[in-house]
Amino acid sequence: MIKTDILIIGAGPTGLFTVFEAGLLKLNCHLIDALPQPGGQCSEIYPKKPIYDIPGFPEILAGDLTKNLLEQGKQFKPGFTLGERAETIEKLEDGSFIVTTNKGTKHHAPVVAIAGGLGSFEPRKPLIQNINNFEDKGVDYFIKDPEVYRNKKVVISGGGDSALDWSIFLADVASEVTLIHRRNEFRGALDSVEKVRELRALGKIKLITPAEVTALYGTDGLESVTVTKEDEIIELEADHFIPLFGLSPKLGPIGNWGLEIEKNAIKVDNSRNYETNIPGIFAIGDVNTYPEKLKLILCGFHEATLMCQAAYRIINPGKKYVLKYTTVSGVDGFDGTRKEAPKAVVQSIQ
């Protein structure tokens, strides 16, 4: 049983920033996410997409925002359950909750914050008749450990950043990398496209466009794939097939938790710091809805900040919290280290 103060479901930007705001209140956080790494869409779908509305950053790449948020929160030592989906919730007599994942991992917390973005993400699967037979036997929708592909023949399908980035990375890991895309043009970052073409010229990546993988073959595991390129049929030996076609957002099992749902979003009371109809369960970020809701990352940060204040009152009933600006008080990490506010700033405030 994993115990924490605030159990955060969703490790996207809003969930990650919650760690920092909770840490300022001396509250521990643990995050659950169905993806194999933190960052949500920012990491999985568009890591190189520029974001322009983060305060203090005229422009920041989505992947860099994730790295910064992880760095900002690591002093408060959050826990992570990654690659698992929050499946069921049970409310105990004392008002606390037990959340169990699809793999049976149990988490206990007095406060649950749902920060799942647009919901849990499931891979968009290509329409190949027998693809389910090869899942975990050569077909992978996520890359959790690149070493699995060491000295293997890998076929990747897709035209976005994930397909490009992993093709580039695995070029130095796998014995053979083939990238297949149904168009000649790619949706990913220009520098990644150029890098793939450079590696193709060096013979480190095979590039087949416009084409699609249309069939999979093997006995106990994947052995080969069929690629259809216009009127041409190409047979390729393959140990692994990795279709990277993006993720499909779904509210998932959370939709069965008794929460009030409106248009596939969780309805919250913004006058009660984004609490749902179940006391002790909050929803913050894109997953929630209320009058005049804006689906912006910076709005999720604001909602996370206020939610943590409400969580503090639940966890510390009767105890008053006095807000202190970090420019004056500094930041105390859970490891005992302290970052002091700059003296010049303190003096100007005094």
What are 275-292's pLDDT values in tens digits? 999 999 999 999 999 999
Distance CA 172, CA 194 (A): 17
Q: What is the CATH number of domain 2-122+248-319?
A: 3.50.50.60
- Is it the case that residue 91 has pLDDT exceeding 50? yes
* Domain 125-245 belongs in CATH node 3.50.50.60: yes
Residue-level pLDDT at 332: 74
Q: Would the pTM count as exceeding 0.85? A: no
Distance CA 101, CA 84 (A): 6
Least confident of 49-53, 64-68, 143-147, 343-347: 343-347
- Is it the case that residue 347 has pLDDT exceeding 50? no
Q: Do domains 2-122+248-319 and 125-245 have the same CATH topology?
A: yes
Residue-level pLDDT at 184: 93
Tokens coding 65: 């925002």
In the chain, where the domains are located: 2-122+248-319, 125-245, 323-350
Residue-level pLDDT at 327: 60
Averaged pLDDT, 264-273: 92
pLDDT digits (tens, 9 = 90+) for 94-132: 999 999 999 999 999 999 999 987 665 678 899 998 999
Residue-level pLDDT at 43: 73
Mean model confidence pLDDT for the chain:
89
Averaged pLDDT, 304-325: 88
Residue-level pLDDT at 349: 35
Instruction: Judge contact between 111 and 119, C-beta under 8 A.
Output: no
Burial of 79 (0-12, 13-18, 19+ CB in 10 A): middle
Residue-level pLDDT at 251: 76
Q: Of the candidates 335, 230, 305, which has an alpha carbon nearest to the alpha carbon of residue 25?
A: 305
Q: Of the candidates 159, 158, 224, 217, which has an alpha carbon nearest to the alpha carbon of residue 187?
A: 159
Residue-level pLDDT at 6: 98
- Report which of residues 75 and 327 the model is more confident about: 75
pLDDT digits (tens, 9 = 90+) for 132-181: 999 989 999 878 678 899 999 999 999 988 899 889 989 999 999 999 99
Q: Of the candidates 42, 235, 208, 226, which has an alpha carbon nearest to the alpha carbon of residue 126?
A: 226
